[in-house]
Chains A and B, each alone.
Chain A
Amino acid sequence: MPDNPDKSGPARVGDPNIGKPISEDELASISRSLEQRLDRKLELREAQERPRPDNTGMAAALRMSTDFVAAILVGAAIGFGIDKLVGTAPWGMIFFLMLGFCAGVLNVLRTAGRISDPHGKKPGPAVPAGDDEDED
């Protein structure tokens, strides 16, 4: 056991303190140092576990770029389809292209947020569930 620089316990007089009863002070200091060591180990383990190899930077970059573009394409396609069906020449395209842009930004934000929040919760302002909403 390493020598503890504690307040001169009566049991820490000589080297052969094996047979002697351990004082309360020493017990406390031992348990404290043990706890500290445990905490350090726990922290180390958590630090090792936290940055899971879930998202390398490259994978995240590839995901975000396509997420963004795909949403715009879908928006444009929907707008084009509605224009073709209903005949509202440019307006459907304009409207849904903008919505597609919004969805693209949402996709990117969600992808970026997932990295820090692995629980699959939607990131964003933590609004508690509205009470007046229809809860299913």
Chain B
Amino acid sequence: MANDPIHQFQISKIFPFELNGYDLSFTNSSLFMVATVCAATGFLYWATAGSKLVPGRAQSVAEMSYEFVANTLRDAAGNSGMKFFPLVFSLFMFVLFANLFGMFPYFFTVTSHIIVTFALAMLVIGTVVIYGFWKHGLKFLGLFVPEGVPGVLMPLVVMIEVISFLSRPISLSVRLFANMLAGHITLKVFAGFVASLGAMGAVGIGGAILPLAMTVALTGLEFLVAFLQAYVFAVLTCMYLNDALHPGH
């Protein structure tokens, strides 16, 4: 059905491939992930290839995105956090390009699948945990022990802190996934109203103006959300990395 708002999230196999009973097919999702990486890398290479002292438009955008992420990271995690810059910048560019790719009609939105965003979030949290333990050893667990708590309350507070920590990858992934999913469904539903109302004759065409206006407005909002979510993902990554760098504060 053409008007099915969920249809756009369906995964279809392009090159079926099975290994040891595991389905490792190359799907449309994989295709768009590859396209996202290629587009992000290609754009940055192209924009900075003939770099000049006075940047042109493309070089300016590339430099702005670099400085944007660098400042965010420096603000959140200090200068010592800059060793994670490649990770944060890659994540930011990947999420941003994936979100913006989703704004093309008939394109697949990679970030509207929770398994993708959850994998990204686990990458971040895994980095935090591994780096934290590698750098600080058991002191990293001090993250869960706030200062100045009376001894009686300590076990309760530590449990709450642990739950709060464990909720991070979930909130990180759910936020991005839910925003992209809900936005695209809303957009599709309102656009579907235009088509189905328009089929109802003169009155319907008059009434279809309202959802059409809504669709235009939502498209603008979706572009905002696409950028905002990439930004939020990067900011929170920086904050969590800060915990790995300075667990005791």
Binding site for B on A (CB under 8 A): 52, 54, 56, 58-59, 62-63, 66-67, 69-71, 73-75, 78, 96, 99-100, 102-104, 106-107, 110, 114, 118, 120-122, 125, 127-130, 133, 136
Contacts and interface: CB of A to CB of B under 8 A. Distances in A.
Interface of A, helix, strand, loop or mixed by DSSP:
helix
Contacts of A73: 167, 170
Nearest to B150: A130
16 contacts: A58-B228, A59-B232, A62-B179, A62-B228, A63-B175, A70-B174, A71-B163, A74-B170, A78-B163, A78-B166, A100-B167, A120-B76, A120-B239, A122-B146, A127-B147, A130-B148
B139 A99 contact: no
Contacts, number: 89
Contact of A103 (B148, B160, B231): B160
Contacts of A56: 228
A130 B153 CA distance: 14
Interface of B, helix, strand, loop or mixed by DSSP:
helix
Nearest to A73: B170
B185 interface: no
Contacts of B232: 59, 62-63
Contacts of B242: 120
Contacts of B161: 103, 106
Given A56-B228, A70-B168, A129-B148, 19 more contacts: A58-B228, A59-B232, A62-B179, A67-B171, A74-B170, A99-B156, A99-B159, A103-B164, A103-B167, A106-B164, A114-B239, A122-B146, A125-B148, A127-B147, A129-B147, A130-B148, A133-B148, A136-B139, A136-B142
Contacts of B171: 63, 66-67, 69-71, 107
A66 B163 contact: no
Contacts of A121: 249
Band of interface residues on B: 20 to 34
Interface string B227-249: 01101100110010010001011
Interface string B100-141: 000000000000000000000000000000000000000100
B147 A63 contact: no
Given A67-B171, A128-B148, A74 B228 contact: no
